[in-house]
Amino acid sequence: MQKTIGVLTSGGDAPGMNAAVRAVTRAAIKKGFRVVGIRRGYNGLLNNDMVELTTRDVADIIQRGGTEIFTARCKEFREWEYVLKAKDICVRDNFAGIVVIGGDGSFRGAADLSKAGIPCVGLPGTIDNDIQCSEYTIGYDTAMNTVMELVDKLRDTSHSHERCAVVEVMGRNAGHIALNTGVACGATAILVPEIEFDIEDVIQKIKNARANGKEQFIVIVAEGVENYSEKLAKTIQEKTGVETKFARLAHIVRGGSPSLADRLLAARMGVAAVDMLMEGMENVFVCERDGKMVPADIQEAIVMDRMYKSTFTPSVKYPEEALKTYSPEKIEYMMNFCVMREKEIKELITTAEDISNYSV
């Protein structure tokens, strides 16, 4: 009986997911596998909602945003009995493995399924770029370009009315989108959860810029700075006298045709995922490091993510219990990696500060 590789998209959608499904499908078929698209994430496994994919089925999806096999979150998959139910279905259908495209929540499901005996390889598909082991994630580049385009349009109307626009962008607890687009759009100020800020510094920047003849202002805020953007817009108007509007870009940032960078990344990761399954790898995900596609342990990625986020997000607890399963050398490696990512953010913040210096 021909071996089957399943592919699913889970959690929040990201531009480039279709390109990844296409790459997995074509690479797997070339290597002699039957490919099944598991619809609506892990729900498709539990509800037997699957469809066979051929090369023709994925012929015209590389340029489409969203995901043709749909995506969803599956609360049931957090419970072991449902993981075992999914395993039984995979055994019945002769699955050689599953490629899971999604973020950290999706990877937890993949880790559990691998533990149950079904090999899984993850592809980091999230606009947030918050899978710390990988330098880039599928959808991140497109999301940033979408934000940049929208902020440029807001700048036009802000200039016409001599206003300030406070723009909140997606990213969950990570500020990568806000920080990079803020620099690219010439924002007067950028607020991200990774770096402490003082509202008075933002106010002073706007005052100094106005004194130097600047007519319009852009302030980019990451959604991880919770429940703050609307309040900030009111504060800026009250303390500077500059009319200030608030804009939440929200889920529009998830949509749109994927950029060249995301299509290329999805293609390379999709082929690499199939190769890893053929080599007998499981409980790993494909990450990009120094331009190469390399495997990383899923559980390690989840722990490292919590380790990184706990440094600046009080609600994220430091994973002390999980670290007991790792050697001192591995813990040191993970900590150094987190320090490196934090250093990158601080360096970009410094760049933003230097080029938005309106001191009189």
Specify the 3-state DSSP secondary structure of 68. Answer: coil
Give the separation between CA 302 and CA 131, rounded to whole angstroms: 8
Catalytic option among 128, 130, 141, 305: 128
Give the separation between CA 99 and CA 56, rounded to whole angstroms: 19
- Contact at 8 Å (CB) between 267 and 258? no
3-state secondary structure 146-181: HHHHHHHHHHHHHHHHCCEEEEEECCCCCCHHHHHH
138-171 burial, b for 16+ CB within 10 Å, e for fewer? Answer: bbbbbbbbbbbebbeebbeebeeeebbbbbbbbb
Give 257's DSSP letter: P
Neighbours of 344 (CB within 10 A): 13
Active site (annotated) includes residue 49: no
- What pairing do the DSSP bridges indicate for beta strands 189-191 and 120-124? unpaired
Which residues are 31's β-sheet partners?
Answer: none
Give the separation between CA 7 and CA 99, rounded to whole angstroms: 5
CB-count exposure of residue 326 (10 Å: 0-12, 13-18, 19+) = middle
Tokens linked to 188: 């007067």
Catalytic residues: 128
